[in-house]
Amino acid sequence: MNDPLVLGIETSCDETGVGLVRGRTLLFDAIASSVEEHARFGGVVPEVASRAHLEAMVPTLERACREAGVRLADVDAVSVTAGPGLAGALLVGVASAKALALALGVPLYGVNHLAAHVAVDVVEHGPLPEPTLGLLVSGGHSNLLLVPDVTHDIRSLGATMDDAAGEAFDKVARILGLPFPGGPHIDRVAREGDQVAIDFPRGLTSGRDLQRHRFDYSFSGLKTAVARWVQAREAAGEPVPVADVAASFQEAVVDVLTRKALLACREHGVDDLLIGGGVAANSRLRALAQERCDAAGVRLRVPRPGLCTDNGAMVAALGAQMVMRGRPPSGLDLPADSSQPVEQVRS
């Protein structure tokens, strides 16, 4: 089918997203977030997120249709994040999508959240080169993916062994007394700081660690190093240079992220790197990635920040590409799978 109208639903974490995509054109992306309800806990509380999805689903769906100027009856297929994510949160989206697909008599596509983060870029920058190398960095994931075909064939090259990149930003922000979610605050504060002030560790980047975990990441050692450094300052009664700590920490994270992503491009012979996920909004990550891609002759694609964070448009975009490639839909017995492996693009 040419240019199918696909409704996408995303509820894997704290954003209730409903997007409408026609072919590769984004019509509207409606989002309701419960992030403020989690702020005082310093992280997403699963039960609070599930309840917020239930309350937001119908109003967000209605808003998406209204703003896009489409009627539900015109939708050709429904696409939904089946996993990975928070089990209760995913269930709300999957149950809603099944009800819609059944009521409208259209096919249902249960898709992988990580694949959707990659697929969304088609609405901004056109068809994905095949293969593309995907670097996904958010509060929940840090993955390096080889993507020969985003609708069908995704291979995991590496992932974080402990904290996700965004989680490290959030935890270090907390150590520095900055609000949750901490990534944007570290990004802002770091602009006033010196990125070489403190030499924080770059995990899994040398010797046997690198050999064994060529494309894996580890950020918990870095987080601990920051905490120790700050504690030592405080114990000595000296002021903590927040901007320098933020800049040096941020540099350690983006150095490792981009270094391994470009190593993967080189070793797998891939000329196109796509960065997605909430941390892709980071200004230093964007700048360093661009610098290193230019030096290596790799083309860089980064969707605009609103498409990098969790949203419904990415799910609709992947669903539409599946319809256009003639991929078979999922059954109505589609499960929500909180630990869905990245290789399983469609459930």
What are the tokens at 186? 């570290």
Footprint of ligand KG4 on 120-139 (CB under 6 A): 138-139
Nearest to 261 by CA among 248, 277, 247: 277
Nearest to 142 by CA among 305, 298, 260, 46: 260
- Measured in whole angstroms, the distance separating CA 214 from the mean position of its chain's CA atoms is 21
Q: Pick from ligand KG4, Zn ion, none: which does 244 bind, CB < 5 to 8 A by kind? A: none
Q: Does 243 bind ligand KG4 (CB under 6 A)?
A: no
Q: Pick from Zn ion, ligand KG4, none: which does 187 bind, CB < 5 to 8 A by kind? A: ligand KG4
Mark residues 12-41: x for contact with ligand KG4 by CB under 6 A, - for none. Answer: -x----------------------------
CB closer to Zn ion out of 50 and 138: 138
What is the helix (H) or strand (E) element at residue 182, kind and residue range?
A: none
Q: Does 60 bind Zn ion (CB under 5 A)?
A: no
Nearest to 138 by CA among 15, 321, 41, 298: 15
Q: Does 277 bind ligand KG4 (CB under 6 A)?
A: yes
CB closer to ligand KG4 out of 19 and 139: 139
- Judge whether 293 and 299 are in contact, CB under 8 Å: yes
* Region binding ligand KG4 by CB under 6 A among candidate stretches 147-155, 209-217, 279-287, 330-338: 279-287
CB closer to ligand KG4 out of 22 and 117: 117
Q: Does 279 bind ligand KG4 (CB under 6 A)?
A: yes
C-alpha pair distances (Å), 280 with each of 77, 93, 94, 115, 270: 29, 25, 27, 16, 20
What are the tokens at 235? 């114990």
- Judge whether 214 and 263 are in contact, CB under 8 Å: yes
Nearest to 39 by CA among 230, 184, 137, 161: 184
What is the helix (H) or strand (E) element at residue 26, kind and residue range?
A: strand 25-33
C-alpha pair distances (Å), 233 with each of 110, 240, 248: 50, 6, 16
Q: Does 310 bind ligand KG4 (CB under 6 A)?
A: yes
CB closer to Zn ion out of 112 and 138: 138
Neighbours of 126 (CB within 10 A): 10
Q: Does 281 bind ligand KG4 (CB under 6 A)?
A: yes
- Judge whether 217 and 260 are in contact, CB under 8 Å: yes
Min dist. Cβ of residue 277 to ligand KG4 (A): 5
Which of 169, 200, 217, 249 touches ligand KG4 (CB under 6 A)?
169
- d(CA 34, CA 46) in angstroms, rounded, equals 11
Mark residues 85-124: x for contact with Zn ion by CB under 5 A, - for none. Answer: ----------------------------------------
Which of 138, 248, 330, 347 touches Zn ion (CB under 5 A)?
138
Q: What is the contact surface with ligand KG4 in residues (CB under 6 A)?
A: 13, 138-140, 166, 169-170, 181-184, 187, 277-279, 281-282, 309-310
Q: What is the contact surface with Zn ion in residues (CB under 5 A)?
A: 138, 310
